Amino acid sequence: MENEDDNMEHSKMDSYFFSLVRVTDVIYGEEGDLGDVLHFIVSLAAELTGAKGSTIRVLEQGSFNLKVVASYGLSQRYINSGAIDFGKSITEIMQGDVIIINDFENDSRIQNLEAARLEGVSSVIGIPFTVNESTYCILRLYFSSKKIPTHD
């Protein structure tokens, strides 16, 4: 059993290192532009976590709008639906809190439950980050079932 666990751990590490090499290739590739890099990040994030899709949103300065700058695996209809309340999320993003919504049916941050149902999304994990002192962003991972993050 130990040997099996070791093999699984090595396989995970190989996968992570392979992913890092892919990230480095895209970031430092001569023909890649910012849009390509952002799309690569959202597609890799979904792939590594088993998410249905993912987005990167940027909080536009001077407004409370979270603009989608990259997306993967989600329909344009869902992205434009305003399914998640930005006002409540913005406070959490600016505080740097990871956002986990596991109960779309009863969470007050969900504004458009029907859009989420049609898309097959039932949970989301949002990971806020900053690019500089005044640019707040969030990477959101969308799942078709409840997702509780672990350290793995």
What is the C-alpha to C-alpha distance for residues 66 and 128, in angstroms, rounded to an integer? 12
Question: 51-143, what's its fold?
Answer: Beta-Lactamase (3.30.450)
What is the C-alpha to C-alpha distance for residues 17 and 46, in angstroms, rounded to an integer? 17
pTM of the model: 0.77
Q: 44-86 pLDDT, tens per residue?
A: 999 988 999 999 998 877 777 788 999 999 999 999 887 565 6
Look at residue 81 and give its three-state secondary structure: coil
Domain ranges for the chain, please list them: 51-143
Percent of the chain whose predicted confidence (pLDDT) is above 70: 72
Contact 143, 52 (CB under 8 A): yes
What is the C-alpha to C-alpha distance for residues 86 and 80, in angstroms, rounded to an integer? 12
What is the C-alpha to C-alpha distance for residues 99 and 149, in angstroms, rounded to an integer? 11
Contact 93, 136 (CB under 8 A): yes
